[in-house]
Amino acid sequence: MLLRFYVFCFLFVVASLPAHAQSDPACLSQDSVPEMADNPSHGWLSREAPEAVKARFEKRADKDKRHWDGDTLVISCEVGGPPAYDMPAVRIEGMGAGVSAAAGDKAYYSDLARRSGHSQQEADVLYNKDAQLHGTYFRTVSNGRGGQANEGDVILKRHEKQLGIEPPAAPAGPSEDSRQRGAELKKKMEAAKKRGDMNEMMRLAGEAQRLSAPAAAGAAAVMKKTDQQTWSLLESSFPELIQAAYRTRITRLTCPCLQCEWPK
């Protein structure tokens, strides 16, 4: 008998709740996290699509008392009695900055593959991966140096360190002897131009090209190494980046009529 009594009480309480309290989903999905761990009021991030998150919040106000102003849900709200005023309740954003690794269009990945010795098929695979990071959000976390930073950037920095990637060194400049020879060739070419001696100008141009070849080769080597490191960084960091990425930002605003229990 006692068990039946408890069951009856439970069913009575559930039946007494407003319809939306019985059936509506929570305002925030279970995978939602604070954008800043030490400041939950700053904003929340969710892996749900913006449209799904908006649908959650729409159910927290009567249809005739709410409307969207861009990404902001506005609710007609009475505080202590009529009249009602339109108040911004929550902002739902779905186009974050992502990370620098996800920048660039498909042509960028094709060019990077060509310059770093990879195939077009590999370029397509890497592009399709990084496209998933476009427009995502990342939490604000410790940068390990007493400050805070975007988690996506922290992940990239960590992988740069693991791969031994350092800022590329500037190619060695021409020697003093090369600079002097270059200056002499320039004068000779100007003199040949004045004389109209095209054969001499062509000969001097070839000599100048041979003189600059070592510096050009050094610059090309630096560029190739940089492209190879960029490719390695994109491949290495993607699995961790996609795990840390969120699709939607939710920012709580000032409306007291939004019926939500925000995590503390």
Give the pLDDT band of residue 20 (cuts 50, 70, 90).
Answer: very low
Q: Quick: pLDDT tens for 133-171.
A: 988 999 998 887 888 899 999 999 999 999 988 776 655
User: What is the β-pairing status of strands 85-93 and 44-46?
Assistant: unpaired
Given its phi and psi angles, is residue 146 left (phi above 0), alpha (psi -120 to 50 degrees) or beta? Answer: left
pLDDT at position 14, please? 34
Q: Is the pLDDT of residue 70 over 90?
A: yes
Q: Quick: pLDDT tens for 243-254.
A: 999 999 999 998
pLDDT at position 217, please? 59
User: Are the CB atoms for 176 and 121 separated by under 8 Å?
Assistant: no
Q: Quick: pLDDT tens for 183-203.
A: 776 777 787 677 776 776 677
Q: Is the pLDDT of residue 9 over 60?
A: no
pLDDT at position 140, please? 92
Average pLDDT, the chain: 79
pLDDT at position 24, please? 47
Residue 124: how many CA atoms within 13 Å on its side-chain side?
Answer: 3
Domain spans in the chain, listed from the N-terminal domain onward: 23-96+247-252, 100-170+208-244
pLDDT at position 21, please? 40
pLDDT at position 12, please? 35
Q: Is the pLDDT of residue 89 over 60?
A: yes
In the chain, the N- to C-terminal Cα span, in Å, equals 40
What's the mean pLDDT in 4-12? 36
Q: Return the ∠ at Cα 19 (arms to 13 and 24), rounded to 5°.
A: 105
**Between 83 and 186, the higher pLDDT residue:** 83
How far apart are the C-alpha atoms of 34 and 39, rounded to whole Å? 7
Give the pLDDT band of residue 86 (cuts 50, 70, 90).
Answer: very high
